[in-house]
Amino acid sequence: MKYFEGIGRRKTSTARVRIYSGKSTSTVNEKPFDKYFTTKNPNDLMKPLAITGLEGKYYFSATVNGGGATGQLEAIQLGIGRALVKMDPSLKSELRKAGFMTRDPRMVERKKYNQRKARKKPQFSKR
């Protein structure tokens, strides 16, 4: 079966997404996507397909690891966007306007020594 593959990353999550033509259930880690993302809105995953008008014509299979629900969901969205562009380069401008082509570079800041967290410092005593 022919597919198009895209890799998406967000925070510490990495997703490998494959897009297939046809009608079937989209899966994340071999589970239906709405069963995998119960706390987040699972319909956010279909936004790249909805924007391009391909929602009923294609389905995806994603393997995702690392991070939490938000990072995984957004990594899959980026992977879907990249796979769609591999399939049809004319969709790139549409997806870029909607924000599904740019990797979000924000990461957790590291904890520094002599501090409680990344920026929180111990209480200062003047005397």
14-56 per-position pLDDT tens digit = 999 999 999 899 999 999 998 998 887 878 888 999 999 988 8
pLDDT at 125: 92
Domains of the chain (ranges plus CATH)?
4-98 (3.30.230.10)
Distances (CA, A) of 38 to 7, 45, 57, 84, 114: 23, 12, 24, 25, 39
Beta bridge partners of 63: 16
76-115 per-position pLDDT tens digit = 999 999 999 999 999 999 999 999 999 999 999 999 999 9
Backbone angles phi, psi at 110, to 5 degrees: -75, 155
pTM: 0.88
* Cα–Cα nearest to 10, from 111, 97, 110, 102: 102
